[in-house]
């Protein structure tokens, strides 16, 4: 059978910042080819749509497969499927991928027979069986298959990630793939799945909270065969398992494989596995994406990020220490007003990292889809690209887009504006000399793509296909559906220590309380030590005061200077502590100083004067500590 595998066109965000090779489609193509089928790939991200229609005429495929990882591409997939049926009525058309797995039934209804089947879950595991069943259009025995005539068993995982290898040779324009300044760039996966459960994400519901990893030797062998100098590691969370990350690094070192790497991970994973990231920095890890998502604790809790603002900032500091360029994502909530956007701009300008701002979007397969989808102001698939607002906005929609784009432009100018033109020009010149234009083109496209008027106009387009709202049973809590059924720890390739770390982040509220108690005990210990020092100084002062009268004034000055010195020492000791405990400890310590100072003098006016001056100094330090903590 002749199979044409098709990736739809790029979206708004991908037209500027990145264009990644269709790794999932390459894996499907490789699985079909191993089963004896003749396969070609057409990637509409990197080639014009006319190439697709030329392939239909020249190749005359018996089957066409569409990769539907992005929800916003579904209308295009449906229209192309209808065009295929108009030209090749007997062609077997099927679709698969992340987003289509969550919307399979409605996609079949929208297609009105143009799509014969949707293959949900990991398509590599079942695509060969599906193509065998295509002859009689009976899919009831194919895992993950859904059709209007019936469905097969639930989807299954591939037996091992070591058994699959993408058909990279089938891509026509490999040099057109890039991310940021990695140009050209290939993609690779070290692992699949995410054991966390953020409310806005569907990676954990797709993979059933599993986490599987390819062996170090398999990864090293694949990297050795990739020609591109830049590598994007597509794992949802890179290096969750410390031993796995170290094993891959060792395998690459033994083969002397050197590339430039870009990956995504979590802040707490980065801090837990510092040695892994230090080693990978030496191997060529240059860029890192951290999904911070929010700058305040309340929003992090609502998103169930299971992280804290302190952890996030500590992770950024560690990445800077390693010399890794970090890009972070902040989710703009539709409820934001102008002041909140301005606050975000100020926050972002105070850190050196690249900041991307996306719009909170409820996707099918996420918890917020189950809870917030009834509030949608649009169900147009094309607007679900994290750059359009599909929930009601506090600002008028036009003003919301103006603030969003204003924020994005300010942050873009921070790294690619005139102030850094020399650095950007140097990078661009190097790529142009090698014949690579992706990065340079992305700089020129920015203002033509990110335009509030264009985004507003997108809402006025005629809608032909609309998302179906989830059905909720009365009295039952809404839960995001799983594609692959969860199997607990049995499907997580993690050791006991990593599982314990994972569990600790899941109970973050309790863990944070425990941490605060530990911090408080440390501060109290420091306070007791200082208190002892003050009491010893007080005894010495009492003994010295009995000498001669005029020394009282000198002792007062000495006590003042010594007390201020201890206050300075205290400020240094508690600087890393939470801002709430700083002010409490300083205030308590000032009370002790005041009491001891009063006892130190036989003349109460002098003692009270010293106490007042100590308290004033403590108030100043308390204000400084509070302001520092608020920053």
Task: Please state, in angstroms and rounded to a whole number, the distance separating the CA atoms of residues 427 and 425.
Answer: 5
274-283 helix and 309-322 helix, angle to the nearest 10 degrees: 30
CA–centroid distance for 302 within its chain? 16
For tokens 């804290």, the residue is: 308
How high is the pLDDT of residue 151? 94
**CA separation for the pair 327, 349 (Å, rounded):** 13
Q: Helix, strand, or coil here: 379? A: coil
Cα–Cα distance measured from residue 99 to residue 153, given in angstroms and rounded to the nearest whole number = 19
User: Is the pTM above the cut of 0.85?
Assistant: no
- Is the separation of the CB atoms in 262 and 233 below 8 Å? yes
Residue 591 binned pLDDT confidence (cut-offs 50, 70, 90): low
Given a cut of 60, whether residue 75 has pLDDT beyond it is yes
Provide the pLDDT for residue 165.
96
Does residue 325 have a pLDDT over 50? yes
437 or 316: which leads in pLDDT? 316
At residue 490, the pLDDT reads: 80
Give the pLDDT confidence score for residue 181 in this predicted structure. 86
What pLDDT, in 10s, does the model give residues 338-386?
Answer: 999 999 999 999 999 999 999 999 999 999 999 999 999 999 999 999 9
488: region left, alpha or beta (phi > 0 left; psi from -120 to 50 alpha):
left
Output the pLDDT for position 442.
Answer: 72
Contact 251, 219 (CB under 8 A): yes
Which one is predicted more confidently, 285 or 478?
285
Average pLDDT, the chain: 84
Q: Return the higher-pLDDT residue of 553 and 96.
A: 96
The reported pLDDT for the residue numbered 261 is 98
Tokens of 342: 């301005």
- For residues 345 and 347, what is the distance between their CA atoms, to the nearest angstrom? 5
Rounded mean pLDDT of 13-21?
A: 85
pLDDT level of residue 109 (50, 70, 90 thresholds): very high
Report the alpha-carbon distance of residue 584 to residue 590 in Å, rounded.
Answer: 10
Whole-Å CA distances, 338 to 344, 360, 392, 409, 412: 10, 16, 15, 15, 19
User: For residue range 548-581, what is the model confidence (pLDDT) as tens digits?
Assistant: 445 545 544 554 455 555 545 555 555 555 554 5
* Residue 518 reports pLDDT greater than 70: no
Strands (DSSP E) contained in 174-333 are: 178-179, 185-188, 191-192, 212-213, 230-233, 260-265, 285-293, 325-332
pLDDT class for 421, splitting at 50, 70, 90? low
Neighbour tally for 422: CB within 10 Å:
9
What are the angstrom distances between the C-alpha of 565 and each of 569, 594, 617?
6, 15, 11
CB burial class (10 A; 0-12, 13-18, 19+) of residue 226? middle
Q: Quote the pLDDT of residue 424.
A: 60
Q: Which residue has the higher pLDDT, 440 or 193?
A: 193
Q: Average pLDDT of 80-103? A: 97
User: Please, what is the Cα angle at 365 between 178 and 207, to 5 degrees?
Assistant: 70
pLDDT value at 459 more than 70: yes
**Which percentage of the chain shows pLDDT scores above 70?**
76
Q: Label the pairing between strands 260-265 and 230-233.
A: parallel
Q: Model confidence over 396-419: pLDDT tens digits?
A: 999 999 999 999 888 877 765 555
pLDDT digits (tens, 9 = 90+) for 485-515: 998 888 788 888 899 898 888 775 444 444 4
């Amino acid at each position: 059978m002749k199979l044409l595998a098709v990736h739809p066109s790029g979206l708004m965000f991908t037209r500027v910042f990145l264009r990644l090779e269709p790794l999932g489609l390459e894996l499907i193509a490789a699985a079909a080819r191993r089963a004896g089928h003749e396969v070609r790939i057409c990637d509409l991200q990197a080639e014009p749509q006319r190439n697709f229609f030329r392939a239909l005429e020249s190749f005359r495929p018996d089957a066409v497969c569409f990769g539907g990882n992005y929800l916003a591409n579904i209308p295009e997939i449906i229209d192309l499927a209808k065009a295929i049926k108009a030209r090749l009525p007997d062609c077997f058309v099927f679709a698969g991928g992340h987003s289509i797995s969550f919307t399979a039934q409605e996609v079949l209804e929208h297609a009105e027979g143009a799509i014969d089947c949707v293959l949900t879950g990991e398509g590599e595991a079942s695509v060969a069986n599906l193509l065998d069943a295509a002859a009689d259009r009976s899919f009831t025995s194919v895992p993950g298959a859904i059709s209007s005539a019936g469905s097969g068993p639930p989807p299954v995982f591939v037996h091992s990630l070591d058994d699959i290898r993408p058909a990279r040779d089938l891509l026509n324009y490999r040099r057109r793939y890039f991310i940021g300044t990695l140009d050209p760039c290939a993609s690779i996966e070290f692992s699949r799945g995410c054991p966390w459960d953020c409310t806005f994400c569907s990676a954990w519901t797709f993979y059933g909270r599993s986490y599987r990893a390819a062996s170090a030797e398999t990864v090293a062998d694949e990297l050795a065969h990739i020609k591109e100098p830049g590598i994007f590691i597509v794992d949802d969370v890179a290096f969750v398992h410390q031993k796995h990350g170290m094993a891959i690094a060792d395998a690459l070192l033994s083969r002397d494989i050197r590339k430039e790497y870009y990956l995504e991970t979590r802040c707490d994973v980065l801090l837990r596995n510092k040695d892994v990231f230090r080693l990978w920095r030496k191997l060529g890890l240059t860029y890192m994406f951290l999904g911070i998502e929010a700058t305040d604790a309340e929003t992090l809790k609502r998103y169930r990020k299971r992280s804290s603002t302190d952890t996030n900032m500590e992770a950024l500091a560690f990445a800077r220490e390693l010399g890794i360029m970090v890009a972070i994502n902040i989710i703009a909530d539709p409820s934001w007003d102008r002041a909140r956007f301005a606050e975000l701009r100020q926050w972002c300008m105070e850190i050196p990292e690249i900041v991307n701002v996306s719009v909170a979007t409820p996707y099918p397969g996420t918890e917020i889809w189950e809870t917030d989808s009834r509030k949608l102001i649009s169900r147009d698939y094309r607007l679900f690209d994290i750059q359009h607002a599909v929930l009601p906005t506090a600002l008028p929609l036009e003003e919301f887009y103006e603030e969003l784009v204003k924020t994005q432009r300010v942050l873009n100018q921070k790294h690619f504006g005139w102030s850094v033109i020399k650095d950007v020009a140097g990078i661009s010149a190097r790529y142009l000399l090698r014949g690579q234009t992706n990065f340079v083109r992305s700089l020129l496209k920015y203002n033509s793509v990110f335009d509030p008027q264009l985004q507003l106009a997108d809402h006025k387009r005629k809608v032909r296909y609309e998302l179906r709202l989830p059905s909720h049973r009365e009295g039952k809590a809404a839960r995001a559906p799983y594609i692959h059924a969860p199997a607990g720890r049995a499907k997580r390739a993690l050791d006991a220590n990593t599982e314990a770390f994972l569990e600790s982040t899941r109970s973050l509220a309790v863990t944070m309380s425990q941490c605060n108690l530990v911090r408080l005990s440390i501060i109290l210990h420091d306070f007791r030590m200082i208190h002892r020092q003050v009491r010893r100084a007080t005894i010495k002062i009492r003994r010295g005061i009995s000498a001669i009268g005029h020394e009282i004034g000198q002792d007062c000055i000495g006590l003042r200077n010594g007390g201020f010195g201890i206050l300075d020492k205290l400020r240094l000791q508690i600087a890393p502590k939470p801002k709430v405990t700083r002010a409490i400890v300083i205030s308590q310590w000032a009370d002790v100083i005041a009491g001891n100072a009063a006892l130190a003098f036989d003349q109460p006016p002098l003692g009270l004067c010293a106490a007042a001056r100590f308290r004033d100094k403590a108030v100043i330090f308390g204000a400084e500590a509070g302001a520092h903590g608020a920053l």
